[in-house]
Amino acid sequence: MRQQGLLLAALLLVAGCAASPDPDSLSFDPMEEPNREAHDFNLRIDTQAFGPVSRAYGNAVPQEVRRGISNVHENWLGPEQIVQYGLQGRPGDAAKTTARFLINSTVGIAGIFDVAAKMGIPYDKTNFDEVFYRWGLPEGGYWEVPYGGPGTQRDWTGWAFDEMLDPTYYVLPVAAATGLLVVGGFNIVNNRYELDTTFDTLNYRSEDGYEAQRLAYLQNMRARLEGGTDALELEDIYADQ
């Protein structure tokens, strides 16, 4: 399953690189038609199941517990992120993540408490999508996946690598690895809950929800990978007034 997914993703990545007109512009959307179908499907799932479940979870589980569960999830991404920082040529960040993992796995009790953040080493997200970005791989087209949500061809390829190459699942006993998968699921539900207002505004309160989510996703992803919004790339609203 995993290998097939990777092969598919790699093929689509290559296909994405072959597509032409200005892939950096926000209007580049070569897969718009299937994407819109996937979007309608995802919204039905969200309306009927994912949204209500996440709100029920957020309302029932106290914030400290939800935070603890997210902390466990983030902590166990540590080993893979150490490798990913290595692949990006960022030994400093790899060392920081190592320190975080050691502190939070012990003093933080298997990652429940983010002690390292209080000591001045905050969580810094990285994934294979960032590895590919740093290696100069193009973003490819925007790709909304049924059940998966928004992404690009590069992001979903990165996701396949994230899933397959996570050392945690190969090292831990089956029961612990399964537990972490469940924790990962809760974390996804919690993210949906914490982003409820944004998600609602984009998808349910927009004239064109697909486009609203696509633009938000692409801009957010680019800002994250590029380390924030560049002041020199701001648009001048007085230019044609």
Partner 1 sequence: MPTNDRAAGLSRRRLLGGIAALALVAAFGAVPRPARAASTDAASAFVTGLTKELLALVTSGKGDAQVYAGFERILASYADMPAVAASVLGPPWRGASPAQKAAFVAAFQHYLSRRYGRQFRDYRSAKFQVTGARDGGKAGILVATKVLRPGQDAIAVDWQVSDRSGQMKVVNLIIEGVSMLATERAQVGAMLDAQKGSLDRLTAQLAATS
Nearer to partner 1, 22 or 236 (CB): 236
Nearer to partner 1, 178 or 229 (CB): 229
The answer to the question of residue 33 lying near partner 1 (CB under 8 A) is no
DSSP label of 195 = T
Select from 8, 11, 26, 181 the one that contacts partner 1 (CB under 8 A): 26
The answer to the question of residue 237 lying near partner 1 (CB under 8 A) is yes
CA distance 53 to 37: 23
Select from 3, 4, 20, 241 the one that contacts partner 1 (CB under 8 A): 241
The stretch among 31-39, 53-61, 162-170, 217-225 that binds partner 1 (CB under 8 A) is 217-225
**Tokens 């944004």 belong to which residue?**
198
The answer to the question of residue 55 lying near partner 1 (CB under 8 A) is no
Residues 142-171 binding partner 1 (CB under 8 A) are none
The answer to the question of residue 236 lying near partner 1 (CB under 8 A) is yes
Please report the sign of the dihedral spanned by the C-alpha atoms of residue 206, residue 55, residue 188, residue 101: positive
Select from 14, 44, 201, 204 the one that contacts partner 1 (CB under 8 A): 201
The stretch among 40-48, 145-153, 179-187, 231-239 that binds partner 1 (CB under 8 A) is 231-239
Q: Is 92 exposed, middle or buried (0-12, 13-18, 19+ CB in 10 A)?
A: exposed
E strands, 45-94, are none
Is the distance from CB of 58 to CB of 193 less than 8 angstroms?
yes
Written as one letter, the residue type at 153 is Q
The answer to the question of residue 207 lying near partner 1 (CB under 8 A) is yes
The answer to the question of residue 198 lying near partner 1 (CB under 8 A) is yes
At a CB cut-off of 8 Å and minimum separation 6, what does 16 contact?
30, 138, 139, 140, 141, 152, 153, 154
The answer to the question of residue 238 lying near partner 1 (CB under 8 A) is yes
The answer to the question of residue 188 lying near partner 1 (CB under 8 A) is no
DSSP string spanning 128-145? HHHHHHHTT-----B--B
Is the distance from CB of 160 to CB of 71 less than 8 angstroms?
no
Residues contributing to the site for partner 1 (CB under 8 A): 26, 63-64, 66-67, 194, 197-198, 200-201, 205-208, 211-212, 215-216, 219-224, 228-229, 231-239, 241
